[in-house]
Amino acid sequence: MASIFTRIMDGDIPGRLVWEDDLCVSMVDIRPLHEGHSLVIPRQEVDQWTDLSGPTAAHLMTVAHQIGRAQRQIFSCERIGLLIAGFEVPHTHLHVVPMDHMGHLDFRNANGSVPAEELDRVADRLRRQLADDGHGAAVVSIDSPST
């Protein structure tokens, strides 16, 4: 059975994509650890990130870097955290999290009740910043609603 991430990439269920290319997508997390929390996910459904090819793993890190740079421009935070855990969904994903303290990387603090409109607003802000940063080819259309 396809992972929830694959189902989002296939358009079977909605997601707030902000980046997509041949190897990966990035989307806003629906249970953010802090405002702006995004995921970078390979299109290839691989459970353990260490099983990815070196070039794919490097590409995910490059995209996470671009997402993190955009987050720093948008959100008032001290740092951008990066975490790969993999316990929640058996499909590799990098958590890119604007943060002010280590508690912003604690999944017990995830907010599962963020209104859809707020998640849409965060996605729109990220798309616009990524486009402004010169990544227009990879940015999911700013003018189309979240998939």
- For residue 34, give the CATH number of its domain: 3.30.428.10
Q: Is residue 61 part of a domain?
A: yes
Q: Which domain holds residue 47?
A: 4-132
Residue 111 pLDDT > 90: yes
Closest CA to 18 of 131, 123, 116: 123
Q: Is residue 55 part of a domain?
A: yes
If one compares 45 and 1, the residue with the highest pLDDT of the two is: 45
Predicted pLDDT of residue 31: 96
**Mean pLDDT on 32-47:** 97
Q: Is residue 120 part of a domain?
A: yes
Q: Is residue 147 part of a domain?
A: no
Q: Is residue 49 part of a domain?
A: yes
Over the stretch 42-73, which tens digit does the pLDDT of each residue have?
A: 999 999 999 999 999 999 999 999 999 999 99
Q: Is residue 140 part of a domain?
A: no
The tokens for 14 are: 């909605």
pTM: 0.93
- Per-residue pLDDT band for 1 (boundaries 50, 70, 90) equals confident
Mean of pLDDT over the chain:
93
Residue 143 pLDDT > 80: no
Element (H, E) at 95: strand 94-99
**What is the total count of domains within the chain?**
1
Predicted pLDDT of residue 114: 96
Q: Is residue 138 part of a domain?
A: no
Q: Count the Cβ atoms, other than its own, within 10 Å of residue 46.
A: 18
